[in-house]
Amino acid sequence: MIRTTLCYLRYEGKTLMLFRNKKTADINEGKWIGAGGKFEKGETAGECLVREIREETGIELTSYIFHGIIYFRNDEFEDEEMYLYSAVITSSEADRIKEYPSCSEGTFEFIPDTKLMELPLWEGDRVFLKDMLEGRKRISYELVYEKGKLIRSERVGIKYILFDLDGTLIDTGEGIMKSAAYALGSAGIHVDDYHELSFFVGPPLVYTFTHRYGLDMKKARELVNKYRERYNPTGLFESEPYPGVRECLENLRSAGYRLYICSSKPEHMCRRLMEHLEMSGLFCDIVGATPDGSIDTKSQVLNELFRRNAADDPCFAGSCVLIGDTRFDMAGAADTGISGIGVTYGYGSTEEMLSLGAAAMADSISEINDSLIQSL
């Protein structure tokens, strides 16, 4: 299976397209496609995307929107799993692309969106490009080719719902903030009101200690250990499910979805908490961070989920949606190649989640239902 990224860079009603007219023995010869290319070993989809755009256009993407995974089945070539993105670029970035040395595979040109469908495109590309131009947020398909002709295009529906824990299913804020204040106090950083530490809910602790307080990694790890000194016996249980959580989860299971937890909280803590709340049986798997930091970010947690579960379904990632309350959730989803839904009642910023490509927003847990999932 080949894994690739494809990105449509958009600017003032135009889209950057590559006319493949230079490479010998090119299966795309004579076609117009977006920018992108093959994964390198160990890359996430987001990392591949950023590298390919840098190499092909000379610009450094800092913001992009993930749309979905396109699964190509082909009787003549190796099957392909393509991660579809778009990004809005500035006028200065567009000018830099125009001045960048010509791509070795073809010629780049900004094409008016109204003219895109007139280009010689792959028939499958017409399917998902049309969705994108019409503003569809989630775009995942299985496209089957025989002898170079598209014989079937089928949407890949959502089967697996992945939930963040803190701020999404459970209001764990009190325990997290009190334990953060305890850890900071040990370093001489005193907090008068623990409610001021809401930014600790969601991201990995090491990230917050280093980015918010400028601590080096060694000191940040020390404070993580100090945090756990209070959190493990006490703070973990200073939490409660948001109203309607159990009903929401049971309804989703009854509708046929398989549920998972993907949290930056250490996995053993997630399991203890969900067992304490008698909710662990509602989930197919609970995946979290590791105490040694080898799995820490949301992207790493999601990749661990894929490692454990993807073998049973070749379209596993394309059939997932992550539900979370912070930009770290939406950024992790975009980086690993799954769609995201943001919730507004947690600890994150609605604007940040939307800017990172959240396919939908929910103002309460009760809004996360079959009709919302089916609308994506």
Q: What's the pLDDT score for residue 310?
A: 81
C-alpha distances in angstroms, 217 versus 60, 135, 136? 27, 42, 41
Q: pLDDT tens for residues 301-313?
A: 999 999 998 888 9
Alpha-carbon gap, residue 16 to 58, rounded angstroms: 13
User: In CATH, what number does 160-168+239-375 get?
Assistant: 3.40.50.1000
| Nearest by Cα to 336 from 366, 361, 357 | 357
Q: What's the pLDDT score for residue 27?
A: 81
Share of the chain above pLDDT 90, in %: 88
Q: What's the pLDDT score for residue 96?
A: 92
Residue 326's pLDDT band (cuts 50, 70, 90): very high
* Residue 192, token pair as written in the block: 């008068």
pTM as predicted: 0.90
DSSP 3-state of 18: strand
Domain range list for the chain? 2-155, 160-168+239-375, 173-237
Residue 214's pLDDT band (cuts 50, 70, 90): very high
Residue 200: pLDDT over 80: yes
| Nearest by Cα to 321 from 308, 347, 304, 302 | 302
| Nearest by Cα to 18 from 36, 1, 2 | 36
Residue 29: pLDDT over 90: no
Residue 28: pLDDT over 90: no
* Topology given in CATH for the domain delimited by 173-237: DNA polymerase; domain 1 (1.10.150)
Residue 26: pLDDT over 80: no
Q: What's the pLDDT score for residue 311?
A: 80
* Residue 85, token pair as written in the block: 């993105």
Q: Look at the block and give the residue holding tokens 């393509």.
A: 82
Would the CATH topology of 2-155 be identical to that of 173-237? no
Report the chain's mean pLDDT, rounded to a whole number. Answer: 94
Q: pLDDT tens for residues 249-262?
A: 999 999 999 999 99
Residue 106: pLDDT over 90: no
Residue 99: pLDDT over 90: no
**What's the mean pLDDT in 332-339?**
96
CATH classification number, 2-155, choose in 3.90.79.10, 3.30.360.10, 3.40.1620.10, 3.40.228.10: 3.90.79.10
Higher pLDDT pick, 275 / 98: 275
Q: What's the pLDDT score for residue 70?
A: 97
Q: pLDDT tens for residues 117-171?
A: 999 999 999 999 999 999 999 999 999 999 889 999 999 999 999 999 999 999 9
Q: What's the pLDDT score for residue 57?
A: 94
Residue 246: pLDDT over 90: yes
**What's the mean pLDDT in 306-327?**
92
Q: Residues 6 or more apart from 132 whose CB is under 8 A from it?
A: 8, 67, 84, 86, 139
Q: What's the pLDDT score for residue 68?
A: 96
Alpha-carbon gap, residue 80 to 1, rounded angstroms: 5
Q: Look at the block and give the residue holding tokens 């840098």.
A: 54
| Nearest by Cα to 102 from 12, 191, 19 | 19
Q: Give backbone dihedrals phi and psi of 215, rounded to 5 degrees, phi first.
A: -80, 150
Residue 51: pLDDT over 80: yes
* Residue 179, token pair as written in the block: 């334990």
| Nearest by Cα to 68 from 85, 52, 53, 48 | 85
C-alpha distances in angstroms, 259 versus 67, 271, 374, 375? 21, 14, 16, 18
